[in-house]
Amino acid sequence: MNMLDYLEWRGDLPFDRDPLNEVDALILSLISYYEFEHFYQVVPDIVGYSLAEFVKLHDDNCSLLGEIDRNIVVENDILPLKTAPFVLSKAVLTDRFANIRIVDFRNVFDEDRVVQFAAVTFELTDGNRVVAYRGTDTSIVGWKEDCMLSYLDEIPGQAEAVRYINDSACGRKYYIVGHSKGGNEALYAFLKMNEERLRDVIAIYNFDGPGFLEKIHDSVRFLATKDKIRTFVPSSSIVGMMLEHDKGFLAVKSQGYGIKQHNPLFWEVKGSHFVLESNNEWVRDVADRTFSQFLKELSLEDRRFVTETVFSIVGSCSAKSFAELYEHPLRNTRIIVSAYSKLTDEHKSKLIEASKLLGFTWASNYRFGLRDLKPGDDKPKLKPLLNFVKKKQ
């Protein structure tokens, strides 16, 4: 079972009869990727609409907004921006989600500041609210901001997340949720929000959000409020186990492998809970052998250099998103090769070493995801990836 099966099983019960649970929180985290900002093309204000009304508004204006793909193949379509409308269209067929209303929405996108931020506040039918932070979209700015997590104490999106929660209505009870970068921002906002607002927070749900440079789990506020914090990662987490993170996470069984583990639609559900791995230590050991190891071998300055250099090269194509980058592959490849050739030998060498290290971590993660490798094994080679392809055939 996954979240779609959950909607069929629990969809008839409103929140005043059955309060929000971890699976509901994940569904709303995924729905936050739905591009509510596009509705300003057809309505002056999106506040006050129910989720069911949004879907109808979308369908009535598909010539402007595009049609909702209701026939997504989950195994192939893993981008949250694409799966969010699909999941939303399923959710609004239930009594539980149809009448959830939008009471606030904020979208901040600034290339100069390198910020891609969006958050939406849902009001449940029991009167409680859910602040959901959107994760990374397909913009190049969004991906660069993600990489900045590896060398900055606070990225612009995190600052926006704190500002958003502090601006929310006082005296209302909130859940704070998010997936991927949104999960990171949800936890960061809670740990940095105004002290007088803490009593309004019911719980924080962080779904496979990357960690932090500082050991936030040792902070005074984290230790005092950790009973409110729920962190979930898939069984071979690539994203959520990077950098410093909460050691009290729960590992969810996932039907995906590699980067697909990050896709919430692959996470296993039973009833109103996730199916958990029995051994969290194994998950932590796997993380130490994959992307965490990649970061450990790069200094903060090296991380900054690689990020700035790679995105400077990519930026020479003038593409705003990876979709635009792929629209003209031959032209953009020539531009990227030309930009790379202008680097000094020293800078080229740094990028080559980083790419080799990254290739190793990808190979590691795939093998751990398939359980072909144990944390104590020697460094994997790329050959098992070919074996994996044969298995799939």
- CA 257-259-260 angle, 5° bins: 55
Please name the fold of domain 3-289. Answer: Rossmann fold (3.40.50)
pLDDT at site 299: 85
Average pLDDT over residues 194-199: 91
pLDDT at site 60: 95
Q: Would you say residue 358 has pLDDT above 60?
A: yes
Average pLDDT over residues 296-305: 85
Q: Would you say residue 221 has pLDDT above 70?
A: yes
Structure tokens at 30: 């995924």
- The Cα–Cα gap between 203 and 249 comes to 14
The residue length of the chain stands at 393
- By C-alpha distance, which of 33, 32, 39, 92 is closest to 61? 39
- CA 157-268-363 angle, 5° bins: 70
Give 309-326 pLDDT, tens digit per residue: 988 998 888 888 888 888
Q: Which residues contact 76 (CB under 8 A, 6 or more apart)?
A: none
Q: Give the model's confidence band at 388: pLDDT under 50 very low, under 70 low, under 90 confident, else very high.
A: very low
Q: Give the model's confidence band at 287: pLDDT under 50 very low, under 70 low, under 90 confident, else very high.
A: low
- By C-alpha distance, which of 257, 198, 252, 197 is closest to 222? 198
Average pLDDT over residues 141-162: 92
pLDDT at site 393: 44
- The Cα–Cα gap between 52 and 54 comes to 5
Instruction: For helices 300-315 and 329-341, give the axis angle rounded to 10 degrees.
Output: 130
Q: How far is CA 369 from CA 284, 358, 360, in A?
A: 13, 17, 14
On the CB side of 152, CA atoms within 13 Å amount to 17
Average pLDDT over residues 260-280: 87
pLDDT at site 269: 96
Query: What is the residue extent of each domain of the chain?
Result: 3-289, 294-371
Q: Give the model's confidence band at 214: pLDDT under 50 very low, under 70 low, under 90 confident, else very high.
A: confident
Q: Would you say residue 385 has pLDDT above 50?
A: no
Greatest C-alpha distance within the chain? 65
Give 67-88 pLDDT, tens digit per residue: 998 888 777 766 788 899 999 9
Give 88-135 pLDDT, tens digit per residue: 999 999 999 999 999 999 999 999 999 999 999 999 999 999 999 999
Q: Would you say residue 348 has pLDDT above 80?
A: yes
